[in-house]
Chain A
Amino acid sequence: MGDIKYLQGKQPHAREKRLIFRNIDREGWDTSIERYVKEGGYDQAKKALKMEPKAVTDEVKGSGLRGRGGAGFPTGVKWGFIPPKNTKPVYLICNADESEPGTFKDRYILHQDPHQLIEGMIISSFAVGAHLAYIYVREEFPEAAQILEKAIAEAHEKGFLGKDIQGSGFDLEIYVHRGAGAYICGEETGLIESLEGKRPYPRIKPPYFPAALGLYMSPTIVNNVETLCHVKHIIEMGGEEYAKLGTPRNTGTRILCVSGDVQKPGYYEVEVGKLTFGELLNDVCGGLLPGRKLKAVIPGGSSAKVLKADERFKIKKGDEEVEIGVEDIPMDFDTLMACGSMAGSGGVIIMDDSRSMSWVLNNINNFYAHESCGQCTPCREGSLWMKKITDRIEAGGGMPSDVDTLASVAKNIDGRTICAFGEASSWPTSSFVAKFRDELIGATDEANASKPSNKEQAAQQRYLAEEPVA
């Protein structure tokens, strides 16, 4: 990585390829625009503003960039969904509502390199024709919001925002909008409702695809922080050159956030698919804690289906089908999907054999029960039922049939809701039950089946036990 020096103890691993995180934890780096411009900052914005907007979009399409927020949808294609005959204003929204459990990457961009994001947003706004853009920052990042506001003011002062940016004739205003602690605001249509000043109830697609009917019913592009930063590097390198990073269909770099039972948890920017899970775990993260064995891994944020340590997967490699284990899975979008999970937001949570899976599932269920927005009945009720059942199992009051009840509740949420939160909340339960069924049943007790589990049941049992009055 050339002559860049990083802070003591925060040096990148040799397997890393730092593009987005080039300036994170750097010695002598700060968030000022002077520091950013000194190393070619905003040069790519200037370059893009001299291009045709369509040419910028074509570079992004050519780069094969896929969204880094969770769904992995091709960014250039998303931009292309703006209706060609559109006459309404177009908006760009940066989704900085980072709140998928296990994910902690956007935090560092916002806190340490805000101008990289602003530059990415200028280029992207120019490409899609937006003159008003918002950064939706989660409320739990108060410092990030301040840093961004300062950076926006600096960019204004230097003529990178406002009217007629750098003499290009292109106008753009960016504002910071703070959320208020709701996970559902990370869902793009929920985010838009929130930005309109309402409860963030997601909108149904179709017809409300944001690229056609988004903010104020106008075409709106919602992209993740990391995604927008990549745009800057795509303009710098050219789409074709960028596409050489990573693997075909899974191009570029991405930041993997590793947490849980490993020696060195943290954030690692790597070329997509160039690293297997085993290499990530053993080489980059220094392996498991001494004497421990791998039990499970959630590869892409808590909504991703859990993978069991001894699972085998059949995947296509070229034309032939090969069988691989968990540690052989390259950390890319397509292979993780082929293995029945997803790369999601890049949050890798590792669990060793000291962890109880019913405790882990209960923790996850508590999260989704708390965060369901309550709009769709299956999700609102189901996520709470799943939490209550695993609460009961954890409290020692579970019965073996609870495990099947869990699976059936999860099945009845999946695919029956307006937004993807339904899947996100049901997949942990369905995958934990499928893969750790025996352990979950082992955490229950047959004797509980005949015990009352609430006051009403207790009263009912008392009534039934009483001698009938003659």
Chain B
Amino acid sequence: MDIPADLETKINEAISHYPVSKRSAVLPVLHLLQHHFGFVSEEGVTYAAEKLGLEPINVLEVVTFYPGFRQCAPGKYHIRVCRTLSCAMSGSYELMDKLCSEAGIDRSTVTHHDPIAVSKDGKYSIEFAECLASCGFGPVCLVNDEFHEKVEPEKAKGLLNQYS
């Protein structure tokens, strides 16, 4: 696996935050890999395991448990729409539908184990997220690392236009 030098530096720095047990660095190392490559690949799992002196299964079980880790590439802009009660009450399901129709995303194949749907051109991908903790100002969503509040369904197009 080709790990650029600056990524390697960040990974080593992250591992140094856990002086008692290197295994604690599994999540941070996976975050760094995912941030760089877009998702965690099989090679990524092996690399992280070797780096931390673990068996690959110790890393893979973490990747498959946490919704925050992906095993396939998302779109250039990955959107996470909050699905939970307060946002749903303020229209997050409608927002999801609107975003999908505007971005040309088909969510019919989405399942619990494969929650991400990607647009045909690969520009956008979308999934529902559970409570993003801004319940008073719903519907809310995350686009990559940027957070958006009060995204009423009619603002879907405007939101997508910010990321093109």
Contact partner of A363 (CB less than 8 A), chosen from B27, B68, B84, is: B84
Question: Which residues of chain A are near B86, meaning CB under 8 Å?
Answer: 101-102, 259-260, 349
Q: Report B88 CB to chain A, min CB distance, Å.
A: 5
Question: Which residues of chain B are near A101, meaning CB under 8 Å?
Answer: 84-86, 130-131, 135
Asked if B159 lies at the interface with its beta carbon under 8 angstroms from chain A, I say no
Highest count of chain A CB atoms <10 Å: which of B30, B62, B66: B66
Asked if A408 lies at the interface with its beta carbon under 8 angstroms from chain B, I say no
CA gap between A215 and B142 in the complex, in Å = 31
Encoded as 1 (CB less than 8 Å from any A CB) or 0, chain B from 95 to 107 comes to 0000000000000
| CB closest residue in chain B, given A201 | B65
Task: Bin chain B's interface residue count.
Answer: 35 or more
Q: Decide: B130 and A267 in contact? CB cutoff 8 A.
A: no
Q: Decide: B62 and A139 in contact? CB cutoff 8 A.
A: no
Q: Which of B133-157 contact A (CB under 8 A)?
A: 133-138, 142, 145-147
Question: Which residues of chain A are near B138, meaning CB under 8 Å?
Answer: 259
Contact partner of A197 (CB less than 8 A), chosen from B23, B69, B83, B145, is: B23
Question: Which residues of chain B are near A196, meaning CB under 8 Å?
Answer: 21, 23-24
Q: Decide: B147 and A360 in contact? CB cutoff 8 A.
A: no
Q: Report B67 CB to chain A, min CB distance, Å.
A: 4
Q: Decide: B131 and A100 in contact? CB cutoff 8 A.
A: yes
Q: Decide: A199 and B61 in contact? CB cutoff 8 A.
A: yes
Highest count of chain B CB atoms <10 Å: which of A107, A181, A182: A181
What 8 A-B pairs have minimum CB-CB distances, sorted nearest first? A180-B68, A181-B68, A180-B66, A197-B26, A259-B135, A265-B136, A259-B86, A197-B23
24 contacts between A and B (CB under 8 A): A99-B131, A101-B130, A102-B135, A103-B133, A104-B135, A104-B137, A107-B133, A132-B19, A140-B80, A140-B133, A143-B147, A178-B28, A180-B67, A181-B67, A181-B129, A182-B68, A197-B58, A198-B23, A216-B20, A260-B86, A260-B89, A349-B85, A351-B89, A367-B131
Binding site for B on A (CB under 8 A): 89, 98-104, 106-107, 132, 138-143, 175, 177-183, 194-200, 215-216, 257-261, 265-267, 302, 347, 349, 351, 355, 360, 363-364, 366-367, 370-371, 373
Known contacts A194-B27, A197-B24; 9 additional CB pairs below 8 A are A102-B86, A102-B131, A103-B133, A104-B136, A180-B27, A196-B23, A199-B61, A261-B89, A364-B85
Binding site for A on B (CB under 8 A): 17-21, 23-28, 30-31, 52, 58, 61-62, 65-69, 80, 83-86, 88-89, 112, 129-138, 142, 145-147
